[in-house]
Structure 1
Amino acid sequence: MKYHLLYCDDAGDSHWRDVDVALTETEFAPPARSILVSEGEAAKATLFLRLEAGWNEPIHPTPKRQTLIPLAGRIRVTASDGEARDFGPGDVWRMEDTQGKGHHTCVIGDADFDCVIVQFD
């Protein structure tokens, strides 16, 4: 399992990095059998968000450290270094570029983009 991490370097540029999620066999919901689970991370808020088809924003840093989990539709996110990644259902995007130049996001295709955002700050 992995997620896409967007982070900011000391020069203020945002970059992508793939992060592998460590899973450990755990008795998660006894009496059910053990399953593979990652370590937990305390969250502050969970939001549902919709970007309508055609939505296209100016470049900006993320307002908070957060993780976006797409439910429907697709977006393209471009880091300030120019690398773009597309996200749809089944992807996970961790935003940590809270400073610097930020990123650009636009909805691709004719469908609205629906997602869940988990905020940590």
Structure 2
Amino acid sequence: MRFQKLFADTDGESRWTDIDVNLVERSFAPPAQKIEISEPEPVKRMMFLRLRAGWDEPIHPTPVRQRLVCLSGAVRVTASDGEAREIRKGDVWHMEDKTGKGHHTCVIGDEDFEAVIVQFE
């Protein structure tokens, strides 16, 4: 399991990297069988998000460190270094480019983009 992370380097350039999630088998909901699960992370809030088809925003940094889980639709996210990735149903996108040049996001296709956002601060 992995997620896509967008971060700002020391020069303020937004860049992509892939992060592998470490899963450990343990008892999570006894008496249910053990499952593979990651370590918990403290979060501040969770929200649902919808971007309508055709939505296109100017380049900007993320306001807080947050993780997005795509439920439907698709967006193209372009880091300031020029690398673009498509976020589609089931993809997880971690945003940490709070400083620097930021990124550009636009909805691709005719379907609205719907997601869950989890904020860490």
Query: TM-score, normalised to structure 1's length?
Result: 0.99
What's 2:50 paired with? 50
What's 1:36 paired with? 36
Q: Which stretches in structure 1 are left out of the alignment for 5+ residues?
A: none
Distance in 2, matches of 1:19 and 1:114, equals 23
**Aligned alpha-carbon RMSD (Å):** 0.4
Distance in 2, matches of 1:89 and 1:31, equals 32
Residue 113 of structure 1 and its aligned partner are, at CA, apart by: 0.4
What's 1:84 paired with? 84
Distance in 1, matches of 2:87 and 2:61, equals 18
Distance in 2, matches of 1:29 and 1:89, equals 27
> 1:17-50: per-residue Cα shift (whole Å, max 9, x none)?
0000000011001101100000110010000010
Query: TM-score, normalised to structure 2's length?
Result: 0.99
**1:69-80 residue pairs with structure 2 within 5 A?**
69-80=69-80
Percentage identity across aligned positions?
62
Matched pairs, number: 121
Residue 89 of structure 1 and its aligned partner are, at CA, apart by: 1.0
Distance in 2, matches of 1:16 and 1:10, equals 14
Distance in 1, matches of 2:22 and 2:109, equals 33
Residue 90 of structure 1 and its aligned partner are, at CA, apart by: 1.1
Distance in 1, matches of 2:4 and 2:118, equals 15
Q: What secondary structure is seen at the aligned counterpart in 1 of 2:106?
A: strand
